[in-house]
A and B are shown apart, each in its own frame.
Chain A
Amino acid sequence: MFDLPILSLLIWLPILGGLGVILFGRHLDSRLFALGITIISFFISLILLVQFNSASAEMQFQEKLTWVSSFNINYHLGVDGFSVPLIVLNSLITILVVIAAWEVIHYRITQYLAAFLVMEGIVNGVFMALDAVLFYILFEAMLIPLFLIIGIWGGKRRVYATLKFFLYTFFGSVFLLISLIYLYQVGGSFSITDMQKLPLAILPQTLIFLSFLLAFGVKIPMWPVHTWLPDAHVEAPTGGSVILAAITLKVGAYALIRLALPIVPDAAANLSSLVIFLSLTAVVYIGFVALVQQDMKKLIAYSSIAHMGFVTLGFFIIYQLNKDTSTAILAIQGGMVQMVSHGFISAALFLCIGILYDRMHTRDINAYGGVANKMPQFSAFFVLFAMANTGLPGTSGFVGEFFVILASFKANVWLAFLAATTLIIGAAYTLWLVKRVIFGEIKNAEVAQLTDISQREFGLLTILAAAVLFFGLWPEPVTDLMGASIEHLLTQALQTKCGGKMLGDCL
């Protein structure tokens, strides 16, 4: 079954589809065409999911071609348990974005759809790349479509937001390039799996780790380099926000797992308290910041940062566990489940806000009130997603946070205590949002004229609601998928590479 280059298909089908939309957009319905492409790629990603052997930690479906021989760069793709769920998530969310644009985007719809298709292909590539330069190229190339999406179809301050977004993330990643070239000089290979085996002294490890942290921390985003995210979210069109929250934030966290933890474990262990501190700041402080937002999108943007704090907390708490491997597995699982779950929940919330915005043309919380009276179906969905956002048991939001809190409890009670405050703060800002927007008396004449969601919108939200409930009640499919990969990761991440007696203990 390995004769079809399934991974290349997942990259190039959407990208070529995107070009096709631009070229033939005049002659046929570009929306149908784009939808077709995204559905086909989603099915391919499902084939990948089914054929993937979750019992093995090996890179599967590998494709390797010499690409730039003079620099020893290969076109090397492969997937493991971390990549597959994210690829499926990405393919699914892109379908939703295309549907969400259906009657809403009128300005240059072919370019809009093409940008999202190209984006899908590039992000799939990021999740598959096993060559460091290929990874870097795709990681950077991702900026171009998103830059255009926010800049062309965004709100009033879109230029400021999109420039800030681009420069911030580009600034973060240039150091990544230097680190990767350095690793190449030491090890003589750009292959990520080779880099993971490379022994390194502690000083280079520390510098490389810091450059990784900067590059991926901006993308995740971690406090204090998060400030581009609220701006980008507020100005982005609905589809842009959905992709930004559901997909691109995951790229940063995924890169931590793929590059930072295995390549520089000693530095990661030494600096884990720093990352944990940053993550907890994101969880607690950013939670409070979310509480005072007047703009719905901004509120959800800050809540995204807080939730991504859980992901990084889960990834780095493993260094505080005294080699308690079973708990470490739990922590990584928690982080990964949180990523997938946040992909669904944030996508759903941004879609909901988009639905309201399309009708009212404002995102100011004060302009709403009593929406439930006019949009009962919508309100039911919104409340469900809000509950998931607060981490209600039975929704996918609960599983990840619970796992991470459990793991932190084993490390330090106070860490767990701080992490658990999110259950209160998160509930506070989300439920208060629901109270002000959904419930109460009908606030004004505009709200009184609202119409409930169309079938298209209903379908969109149903898919996401089903996913949220499914993974909330039965998260095993995700955790099973990555079980072997997590164990493999932990052997790499908890093993010293600098020749000391134990992890992080180098001269």
Chain B
Amino acid sequence: MNIAIALPEIFLTIAICLSLLIEPFLPTDKRRLISYLLIQTCLIITTLLVINTFPADKAWGLNNLYVRDDLGSLLKISILLVTMLAFVYARQYLQEKGLWKNEFFILILFSVLGMLVIASANHLLLIYLGLELLALALYALVAFSRDDSRATEAAMKYFVLGAIASGMLLYGISILYGITRGQLELSAIASYLSTQEVLNNIPLLFALVFIVGGIAFKFGTVPFHMWAPDVYQGAPTAVTLFLASVPKLAAFAMLMRVLGESLGAAQSGWSQLLLVMGLLSVTVGNLLAIAQFNLKRMFAYSTIAHMGFVLLAAMTGTLEGYSAGLFYTIIYALTSVGSFAILILLSHQGLDAETLNDLKGLNERHPWYAFLMLLLLFSMAGIPPMVGFYAKFSVIQAMLNTGYLWPAVFVVLMSVVGEFYYLRAIKMMYFDQPEKHPPQITYPMDFQIALTANGLLVLFLGLLPTGLIELCTQALVASLP
């Protein structure tokens, strides 16, 4: 059985259940704080459990349902670390908004559990299971601010579209189940496919389309992007912060497990899908982001564009491309969580900072935070020496290496378009004066330290990116068949 390979997940499950049980018995006045600290400790222990077996040889267990490899572990570590950051950022916001409830953390922990399962799944059904655990928790989180009609609307949209997407994924899986004569294990599908002529196998292509559609929904890439702006805007900022960053890592895990590992032999079939979706996402994301005045919507469209890059990296089907995609996703999660933290910072007394105007004069009020945001935005825009440059660089290099010259040219052109809205945000912070007299921002020390570390990390990784790039490449080398 080899249960030990799922130790982090098992620990996290037990911890979630226990924290639900313990919470009512804590002293009322300090209940929230203690359970918050407990939950952070759980996450730290889970991370340590993952790190304990990283790097390690690839191992299977639980009747071959489960796999532990470096790719999974690296993604899990990133997921857990970014989640911890998200909790630190969310704390004061939740208190001011009256959302400081244990359920917020529990729901996020469940979705994290789902993501960990996806990262380690060796079976399509397990991937689906993890996906549903992730998605259901997220639907509830989006609607967490119950009396806010926009949040409810967003959750409704997310739920309906998400349900359709899971349906599509499941449909694709079921067709695959049929044509492989009852195989759902990733390696079994892979060995079946290696004997097939992919482009002539119509049922296989049919299944691919649905599976790719399901994955693309998680990434939020065109044409499955419609939910992103509304959900980002409607959800409380603390939820958007999490929603915009961490699940993308899980989506990448799903992409690698399903397309890279099990359907790798069918690369000629899905790469064109990813190429078209990637190019469309980069175009639509960047162009529509310009038209947004609401920062959350702007970030939603910018996310669409970023995820387009990830798809384009994965599209190449090479180790280099996968590694670029992994690197890009990790960097994206890190940058995105930081930028939303700035939005949280600007929100006060339960009022969300949402529009570009809220950024006005940030340099005047808080030069340090403005500087951190500057780093994050330039990183998103891909300007060296920030790490976002290397993320884009590695994707473009992977594309050129596989001969996609003109798509690469098109993508860099689109990133020039994208430049504009990041610069506009910087302009608001640095060149404009604040409109009214916004209150002084006071945030606890842990928030300040986390944000500072987050912002400087973007610069530091930009100056010395080797370590992380090597880590990504090695994890993939060790994990891919």
A in complex with B: yes
Contact digits for B372-387, partner A, Cβ 8 Å, 1 yes 0 no: 0000001000011100
A437 to chain B, nearest CB (A): 30
Contact A70 B473 (CB under 8 A): yes
Contact B383–A141 (Cβ < 8 Å): yes
Q: Which of A133-191 contact B (CB under 8 A)?
A: 133, 136-138, 140-141, 143-144, 147-148, 151-152, 158-159, 162-163, 166-167, 170-171, 174-175, 177-178, 181-182, 184-185
Q: Are B416 and A170 in contact (CB under 8 A)?
A: yes
B416 adjacent to A71 (CB under 8 Å): no
Query: Interface code B391-411, partner A: CB below 8 Å = 1, 0 otherwise?
Result: 001101100110001001100
Q: List 27 A-B contacts (CB under 8 A).
A: A69-B470, A70-B466, A70-B470, A71-B390, A71-B394, A111-B367, A137-B384, A137-B389, A140-B383, A140-B384, A141-B384, A143-B383, A144-B383, A151-B431, A152-B363, A152-B431, A162-B427, A167-B416, A167-B419, A170-B416, A170-B419, A171-B416, A174-B416, A177-B393, A177-B396, A181-B397, A185-B401
Question: Nearest Cβ distance between residue B403 and chain A, in whole angstroms?
Answer: 10
In this complex, how many residues of chain A approach chain B with their Cβ under 8 Å: the count is 35
Digit string of A481-496 for contact with B (CB within 8 Å is 1, else 0)?
Answer: 0000000000000000
Q: Does B465 contact A (CB under 8 A)?
A: yes
User: Can you list the 6 inter-chain pairs with the closest CB atoms, starting with the nearest?
Assistant: A137-B384, A174-B412, A151-B431, A70-B469, A171-B416, A140-B384
Residues of B within 8 A of A178 (CB): 396, 400, 405, 408-409, 412
Using known A-B contacts A140-B383, A141-B383, A144-B383, determine if residue A67 contacts B466 with beta carbons closer than 8 Å. Answer: yes
Residue interface mask B426-441, A partner, CB < 8 A = 1: 1100110000000000
Query: CB distance A174 to B469 under 8 Å?
Result: no
A68 at the interface (CB under 8 A from B): yes
Contacting residues, chain B, for A182 (C-beta < 8 A): 400, 405
Sample of 16 more A-B contacts, CB < 8 Å, known A152-B363, A170-B383: A67-B466, A70-B470, A108-B363, A138-B384, A147-B423, A151-B430, A162-B431, A166-B423, A167-B416, A170-B419, A177-B412, A178-B400, A178-B412, A181-B396, A182-B405, A184-B397
Determine which of A136, A151, A185 lies in contact with B384 in the assembled complex, contact meaning CB atoms within 8 Å: A136
Q: How far is the CA of A367 from the CA of B306 in the complex (A)?
A: 51
**Docked CA distance A311–B390 (Å):** 34
CA A151 – CA B426 in complex, angstroms? 10
- Cβ of B430 and Cβ of A141 under 8 Å apart? no
The docked-state distance in angstroms from the alpha carbon of A185 to that of B396 is 12
Task: Known A71-B469, A174-B416; judge A148-B430 contact (CB<8 A).
Answer: yes
A residues lining the B interface (CB < 8 Å): 67-71, 108, 111, 133, 136-138, 140-141, 143-144, 147-148, 151-152, 158-159, 162-163, 166-167, 170-171, 174-175, 177-178, 181-182, 184-185
Question: In whole angstroms, how far apart are the Cα atoms of A184 and B378 in the complex?
Answer: 26
Cβ-closest chain A residue relative to B399: A181
User: What separation, in Å, do the CA atoms of A143 and B419 have in the docked complex?
Assistant: 12
Of all chain B residues, the one with the shortest Cβ separation from A184 is B397
Q: Which residues of A contact B378 (CB under 8 A)?
A: 144
Q: Indicate if B237 sits at the interface (CB-CB under 8 A).
A: no
User: Given A70-B473, A148-B430, A152-B431, are A141 and B385 neighbors across the interface (CB < 8 Å)?
Assistant: yes
Instruction: Collect the chain A residues with CB atoms within 8 Å of residue B363's CB.
Output: 108, 152
A240 to chain B, nearest CB (A): 14
In the complex the two chains form, what is the Cα distance from A194 to B150 in whole Å?
59
Instruction: Decide if B423 touches A167 in the complex (CB within 8 Å).
Output: yes
Question: B415: CB under 8 A from chain A?
Answer: yes
Q: Is the beta-carbon distance between B430 and A69 smaller than 8 angstroms? A: no
CB-based nearest A residue for B320? A70
User: Once the chains bind, are A71 and B430 in contact (CB under 8 Å)?
Assistant: no
- In the complex, the answer to whether A175 meets B409 with C-beta atoms within 8 Å is yes
B384 touches A68 (CB 8 A): no
Q: Which residues of B contact A175 (CB under 8 A)?
A: 409, 412
Minimum CB distance partner of B469 in chain A: A70
Q: In the complex, which residues of chain A have a beta carbon less than 8 angstroms from the beta carbon of B430?
A: 148, 151-152
Which B residues touch A177, using CB under 8 A? 393, 396, 412
CA distance A170 to B383 in the complex (A): 9
In the bound assembly, the distance between CA atoms of A182 and B400 in angstroms comes to: 7
B431 close to A71 (CB less than 8 A): no
Q: How far is the CA of A137 from the CA of B419 in the complex (A)?
A: 16
